[in-house]
Structure 1
Amino acid sequence: MEENYFAFTWKINCFNELVVRHPNGSFFYSDRFWSPRGQGGKSININVVNEQNSSHNNTGYLWRLKMFPNGVDKKSNDYISLYLEAIQTHYEKQNNITGRQKKFRLALYRVDSNLQTTKQKPSLVIDRHTLETKFEFNGVNADYGFARIIALKELFPSDNTPEIDLLVRTQIFEDTMTSGEGPSSMVIVNNISLMPFERYFGEERFCDVEFIFDCGSSMKAHRVILAARSTYFESMLGGEWLEGHMKTVTIKDMPFDAFRCIVHHLYTGKLEEGLTFELLRDIYSKADMLRVEQLSQMAAERMVNLMNHENWDQILMLGWKYFDDRLKDAGQEFAVKHWIEIKDTDNMKQVMASGHVDRIVELVLQSFFTPNNARIEL
């Protein structure tokens, strides 16, 4: 069943000029806009701020988009960074609502400004996968999105690229309502799994379980926080397993750094910055095992942002192994795009030796029928 959503489109005129004027780390905002709360059907809003009385009642959410044309940081230089930011409404402030859990999707379209026509049809540049997060109105977790949604060279392959207007489209999916309730009686979840626990990470005063590792490292944590944030830990520490009665739990077959990052996410809802590809790969596979789905998605997105000629094969095969379309499609797209450079490499030999015959055939056929690769002898 297709989910209902609200769509907002932000038109950015003369995007080429903004790229020149905004250095790395510099950003600008869209207009603020409202999305309806739990109303059926699909609606479109193009650069319209409809205040109505939404700030004083429970009928809408307030948002804006935030763009860094040359990347949010040095690691994202030469990429566009794009985020959806939640803004606390008067209603939320008056009722002490400190955050909101939402699913959303971001896409970019281009319109060539020099087209000699009055009807300019936008062409899709990239449509990213759906994200879900808990927005918090504390200035730290107020926005969420992509540090590298697309490389600038994908928009401007040469210095002679004509001037373009950019369209940013966000889809914000509807709330899930309790059966029998209407839009005006949405349930405000005061769930322990959504409460901010960040200040307790690394705080040993109330810790009641310690994890030890083969490398000799150890870390302490709080059972109730881990159990509230993960069904895996709820089973492990809630008495169903032998470990449920232990104050010290030995962790096997999991690197300490990966486990620490997973626990950090359970406390904060975040994935730490500056992690290596190898550590992200471990986090991804272990988070999948521990059924921490949001962290798996975050690690996958971070790996895709770090994809290069040395690791594309690992991303592709992770996508195959875990049936992750995001990783599979990204790895396959990279392989097809760089087929000439990679077809005889050790990375390709690893892919060919993986045993995924049907998927290898799909990859080779796609590369062969891509125009730039059509004359390549396999």
Structure 2
Amino acid sequence: MNRIANTFTWEIGSFQEYVRNISHGSSIYSQKFWIPKFPLDKFQNENDIKNPTLWQLRLFPNGDNSIESINHISLFLKAIQTPYEKLNEINGRNQKYIVIIGRTLINENKKILIKNTSISTNYFVFNNVSSGWGHRKFVELNSIFPDGNKSQDVDLFVQITFFNDNDITKEEGLLDINKPMDYFENESFSDIEFTFECGSKIRAHRVILAFNSEYFKNMLNGGWKEQDMDVIPIKETSYETFRAILYFVYTGKLLNLDNFETQCELFKRSDMMLLGNLKKLVVKKMIEFINEDNWDVFLLLGSKDYILKFTGLEYAAHHWEMVKTSEGMLRLYSNYDINEMEELILFVNKRKEIVDFGF
């Protein structure tokens, strides 16, 4: 099993401006970044200071100075000698990694994967430009601007994930980030484990979670305490709900859930985790389950989604004689504010000319 050391994402906003203003053969650099991510003054002991490595990406928006790179993006990874390596006369390092490049069209606000490499291992010699990893023709510019319009407002991102295990097999090189659904609950290449109070466990892949979800990207690469954990306990979300979240992150689809309580929890978690498309799918599924025992839940969750609210209002209006003295109504009185109760009554009145409230 590969254990991921860390992931670095370089985001280049308004990439079309770099293409327009930077000539063939000229480049831009990412910030220098530590893997794992913590500065020198945070090292706790000698073992810590041996582990972090320093890196930098270099990107040529219109290709490097070679003729073959014209109309391509050239991308290179540079290993930078750390003070520890210099002190101990270490002149290079072996590293295993995977590189991803993608774009976000601003008017669509959707991340699109352009290319990912297979898992590779290279030996990087410090202060040697010909050593390490790089591609003069990493991707064609037309893949970033598919219709050839290089004035489109495009954000580019390059994501590189490092592994701290330098042994590689042929099978491991076949990981395809384009088909994450193939890896849901597949322990091949998995590098993180989520545990639950019920005793269940789920293994997953940091690179897939971080690529497909901003929430998981922040959790695993944004300075949260979980960033450096191989086993992450999940305490406030049930196993069934979290499994459905991961299923969506891997497949873009809703796991078949017939338990209404789990659906409600999934709705709340998808809202909290900013998984808007999952939230829409859950709402569509929840509507199928509305009945006399749960109609009030739709109104109580309505502040987070108008479709749920409208569904609850419609149900109440069409079944008023039944719901007006129901336990659901009592729950509303306990949890709904006066303005929301007035809105319910007004809505019912619009659906019925005369309503006997019976109170």
TM-score (normalizing by structure 1)? 0.48
Give the corresponding residue for 1:84. Answer: none
Which residue, out of 308, 315, 324, partners 2:291? 308
Verify: 1:252 aligned to 2:245, yes or no: no
* Gap change, CA 1:340 and 1:192, over 3 Å in 2: farther
* Gap change, CA 1:239 and 1:367, over 3 Å in 2: closer
The CA deviation at 1:326 is 1.0
* Gap change, CA 1:258 and 1:242, over 3 Å in 2: same
Give the corresponding residue for 2:224. Answer: 241
Q: Is the 8 A contact 1:239 1:245 kept in 2?
A: no
Which residue, out of 355, 360, 372, partners 2:341? 360
Which residue, out of 330, 341, 344, partners 2:325? 344
* Gap change, CA 1:195 and 1:188, over 3 Å in 2: farther
For 1:133 and 1:364, how far apart are their aligned partners in 2? 40
- Alignment length (residue pairs): 201
For 2:184 and 2:156, how far apart are their aligned partners in 1? 21
The CA deviation at 1:316 is 1.2
What fraction of aligned residue pairs are identical, expressed as a percent?
Answer: 32
For 2:302 and 2:158, how far apart are their aligned partners in 1? 32
For 1:345 and 1:222, how far apart are their aligned partners in 2? 46
For 2:241 and 2:208, how far apart are their aligned partners in 1? 18
Tell me the alpha carbon deviations over residues 296-323 of structure 1, each in whole angstroms, 9 at most, x when there is no partner. Answer: 1111111012111111111110113x2x
Give the corresponding residue for 2:279. Answer: 296
Q: Is the 8 A contact 2:192 2:231 kept in 1?
A: yes
For 1:183 and 1:338, how far apart are their aligned partners in 2? 53
Q: What amino acid maps onto 1:367 in structure 2?
A: V
Larger radius of gyration: 2
Give the corresponding residue for 2:12. Answer: none
Give secondary structure in 2 for the equivalent of 1:211: strand
Give the corresponding residue for 1:199. Answer: 182
Which residue, out of 194, 217, 223, partners 1:211? 194
The CA deviation at 1:365 is 2.1
* Gap change, CA 1:302 and 1:189, over 3 Å in 2: farther
Tell me the alpha carbon deviations over residues 53-105 of structure 1, each in whole angstroms, 9 at most, x when there is no partner. Answer: xxxxxxxxxxxxxxxxxxxxxxxxxxxxxxxxxxxxxxxxxxxxxxxx9xxxx
* Gap change, CA 1:184 and 1:332, over 3 Å in 2: farther
Unaligned runs of 5+ in 2: 1-103, 112-144, 160-176
Tell me the alpha carbon deviations over residues 181-235 of structure 1, each in whole angstroms, 9 at most, x when there is no partner. Answer: 9987379999999943111111101001001111111110000111111111111
Q: What amino acid maps onto 1:368 in structure 2?
A: N
The CA deviation at 1:366 is 2.0
* Gap change, CA 1:198 and 1:189, over 3 Å in 2: farther
TM-score (normalizing by structure 2)? 0.51
Q: What amino acid maps onto 1:219 in structure 2?
A: I
For 1:184 and 1:224, how far apart are their aligned partners in 2? 30
The CA deviation at 1:370 is 2.6
Unaligned runs of 5+ in 1: 1-100, 102-131, 135-180
For 2:317 and 2:157, how far apart are their aligned partners in 1? 45
For 2:282 and 2:342, how far apart are their aligned partners in 1? 28
1:12-161 counterparts in 2 under 5 A? none
Q: What amino acid maps onto 1:231 in structure 2?
A: E
Tell me the alpha carbon deviations over residues 19-50 of structure 1, each in whole angstroms, 9 at most, x when there is no partner. Answer: xxxxxxxxxxxxxxxxxxxxxxxxxxxxxxxx
Tell me the alpha carbon deviations over residues 100-140 of structure 1, each in whole angstroms, 9 at most, x when there is no partner. Answer: x9xxxxxxxxxxxxxxxxxxxxxxxxxxxxxx999xxxxxx
Give the corresponding residue for 2:209. Answer: 226
* Gap change, CA 1:227 and 1:182, over 3 Å in 2: closer
Tell me the alpha carbon deviations over residues 349-369 of structure 1, each in whole angstroms, 9 at most, x when there is no partner. Answer: 101111421011110122134
For 2:157 and 2:184, how far apart are their aligned partners in 1? 19
The CA deviation at 1:275 is 2.7
Give secondary structure in 2 for the equivalent of 1:319: coil
* Gap change, CA 1:376 and 1:192, over 3 Å in 2: farther
The CA deviation at 1:374 is 3.2
Tell me the alpha carbon deviations over residues 246-299 of structure 1, each in whole angstroms, 9 at most, x when there is no partner. Answer: 111111111011000000000000002243111111111111111111111111
Tell me the alpha carbon deviations over residues 332-365 of structure 1, each in whole angstroms, 9 at most, x when there is no partner. Answer: 1111111111100111110111142101111012
Give the corresponding residue for 2:307. Answer: 326
The CA deviation at 1:373 is 4.4
Segments of 4+ moved more than 3 angstroms: 181-196, 372-378
